[in-house]
């Protein structure tokens, strides 16, 4: 599927990343300050500033206010960071986070999940129910329970409202801000992306990283809540200690520790405490999710320099593997598809299809083989049948819409996505593909409306307003659509004004 992050540039590519990040943080009132100078959230005349969650007079911020700030934070984060448009991966992460949240003490269990395309091992949670997962976490966690232990830990921070509580405890000190968190997490999510990032000094990065650090007490509490959440969900609580051990090893064998470790320091005592706490839980038989390893295969394919290298890597694993054979076979089939070898891919994939012909991941891979062969009818029929069996499956919906798009069935894709955009209103990938299909189906007003929604979700309000104004001019004779667009214009103007006030 077309990647909206690649296909629709949000800023000029001429400026190096370090300069773009400096400008963005300046607009947010962050200014990359040196040394231990506090990072303040001050506004300039043109930029957007995210506020502190509280101050010496306001007390704790309300959960609803956190939600509003979290949504604004997410929009701006998306405007700066390359996020994943892999619908199958997104669906897996959302399902995992939601499943764990059901067993956590969180009052509001509606979590917005953003998957960041970055090989560094990191995860984060932002006030207002935002969970971020770097794809590198999959490469680092050896099994699903270890992966889940990190998610559960972050849910622990959210459930205990550590961000807001820290404001009450630190009224006389530098208070953490959402703006500071944004700067630190943008740095983490773009690390290694461009050599220009080296222009940001270690002291500047450290100043931003400090915005994410919790107290030792907060970390202990998140560990406790996270391990309890793991156990209640039926997962192995020992996985938390195992993951901490791997993190500690990373400080010894890696040039730079994982980003997660920089903001959640791990010690031998913390590992021992986690192990002791898990020993008090009921014994759980460790399990190893095949789906998790299949997601790892998708990410590993993306990290290889070429599809041909990925083919060699997965072929070697399949030849010598004794665990996770299905995941290795699946990864090899995907690599062969990417390498333009559909016949080999089908031979590799067929044993999986024979065992589970209705599994969405296998059906999608089989449809991709059809698409490489330009058998568009076969791909769309196959995906439609799968979707009929699994209505509302996100990966299948996006897969079928993309297959219609590639087949030139723009009206079919348009109908699907227009309906789905009402279900999945906060997904930029849905709105982006809908805008593309509107254009090719000849609905220019629809293009402007969908692109406006896309730009709203990634925090680029100026472009959203431009598209809405174009749409308004084109619908003077269509009272209903014109009124809808005018109201949306007012909504976006208010969003922009609120952002500038922050």
From 66, 144, 145, 223, the catalytic residue: 223
Q: Residue 3's Cα: distance from chain center in Å?
A: 14
From 52, 145, 154, 259, the catalytic residue: 154
Alpha-carbon distance values, 132 to 24, 122, 260, 365 (Å): 20, 8, 12, 26
Mention every residue, 6+ apart, whose C-beta is less than 8 A from residue 93: 113, 115, 133
Alpha-carbon distance values, 393 to 183, 258, 273, 421, 494 (Å): 34, 33, 40, 14, 34
Does 448 appear as a known binding residue?
no
What residues pair up with 130 in beta bridges, in sequence order?
112, 126
Does 153 appear as a known binding residue?
yes
Of 474, 434, 440, residue with least CA distance to 453: 434
Cα separation of 431 and 426, whole Å? 9
Does 219 appear as a known binding residue?
yes
Catalytic site residue 94?
no
The sign of the torsion formed by the CA atoms of 121, 134, 5, 300 equals positive
Tell me whether residue 132 is exposed, middle or buried, using C-beta atoms within 10 angstroms of its C-beta: 0 to 12, 13 to 18, 19 or more.
Answer: buried
Catalytic site residue 154?
yes
Mention every residue, 6+ apart, whose C-beta is less than 8 A from residue 38: 174
- Asked whether the beta carbons of 129 and 177 are under 8 A apart, the reply is no
- Asked whether the beta carbons of 223 and 230 are under 8 A apart, the reply is no
DSSP readout, 134-183? Answer: ETHHHHH-SSHHHHHHHHHHHHHHHHTTHHHHHHHHTTTSPPPBHHHHHH
Give binding residues for Zn(2+) as ranges. Answer: 153, 157, 219
The residues that are catalytic are 154, 223
């Amino acid at each position: 599927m077309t990647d909206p992050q690649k296909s629709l540039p949000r800023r000029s590519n001429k400026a190096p990343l370090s300069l773009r990040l400096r400008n963005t943080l300046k607009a947010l009132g962050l200014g990359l300050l040196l040394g231990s100078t506090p990072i303040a959230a001050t506004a300039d005349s043109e930029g957007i500033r995210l506020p502190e969650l509280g101050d010496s007079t306001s007390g704790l911020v309300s959960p609803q206010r956190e939600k509003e700030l979290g949504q604004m934070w997410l929009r701006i984060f998306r405007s700066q960071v390359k996020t994943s448009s892999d619908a199958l991966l997104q669906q897996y992460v959302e399902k995992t986070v939601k499943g764990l949240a059901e067993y956590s003490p969180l009052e509001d269990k509606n979590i917005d999940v953003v998957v960041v395309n970055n090989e560094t091992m990191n995860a984060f949670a932002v006030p207002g129910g935002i969970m971020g997962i770097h794809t590198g976490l999959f490469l680092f966690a050896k099994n699903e329970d270890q992966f889940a232990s990190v998610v559960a830990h972050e849910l622990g921070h959210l459930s205990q409202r550590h961000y807001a509580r820290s404001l009450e405890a630190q009224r006389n000190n530098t208070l953490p801000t959402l703006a500071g968190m944004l700067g630190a997490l943008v740095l983490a999510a773009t690390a290694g992306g461009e050599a220009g990032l080296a222009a940001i000094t270690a002291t500047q990065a450290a100043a931003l990283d400090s915005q994410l650090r919790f107290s030792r007490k907060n970390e202990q509490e998140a560990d406790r809540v996270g391990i309890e959440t793991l156990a209640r969900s039926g997962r192995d609580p020992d996985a938390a200690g195992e993951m901490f051990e791997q993190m500690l090893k990373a400080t010894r064998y890696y040039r730079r520790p994982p980003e997660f470790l920089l903001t959640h320091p791990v010690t031998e005592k913390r590992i021992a405490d986690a192990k002791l706490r898990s020993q008090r839980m009921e014994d759980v038989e460790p399990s190893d999710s095949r789906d998790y390893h299949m997601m790892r295969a998708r990410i590993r394919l993306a990290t290889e320099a070429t599809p041909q290298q990925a083919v060699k890597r997965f072929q070697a694993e399949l030849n010598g593997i004794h665990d996770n054979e299905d995941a290795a076979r699946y990864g090899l089939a995907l690599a062969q598809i990417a390498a333009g070898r559909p016949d080999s891919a089908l031979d590799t994939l067929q044993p999986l299809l024979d065992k589970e012909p209705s599994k969405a991941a296998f059906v999608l891979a089989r449809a991709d083989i059809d698409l490489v062969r330009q058998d568009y009818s076969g791909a769309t029929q196959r995906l439609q049948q799968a979707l009929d069996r699994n209505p509302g499956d996100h990966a299948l919906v996006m897969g079928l819409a993309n297959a219609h798009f590639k087949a030139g069935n723009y009206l079919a894709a348009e109908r699907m996505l227009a309906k789905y955009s009402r279900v999945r209103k906060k997904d930029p990938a849905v709105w982006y593909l809908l805008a593309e299909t509107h254009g090719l189906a000849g609905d220019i007003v629809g293009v402007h409306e969908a692109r406006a929604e896309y730009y709203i979700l990634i925090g680029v309000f100026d472009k959203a307003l431009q598209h809405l104004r174009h749409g308004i001019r084109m619908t003077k004779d269509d009272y209903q659509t014109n009124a809808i667009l005018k109201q949306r214009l007012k909504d976006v103007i208010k969003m922009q004004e609120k952002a500038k006030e922050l």
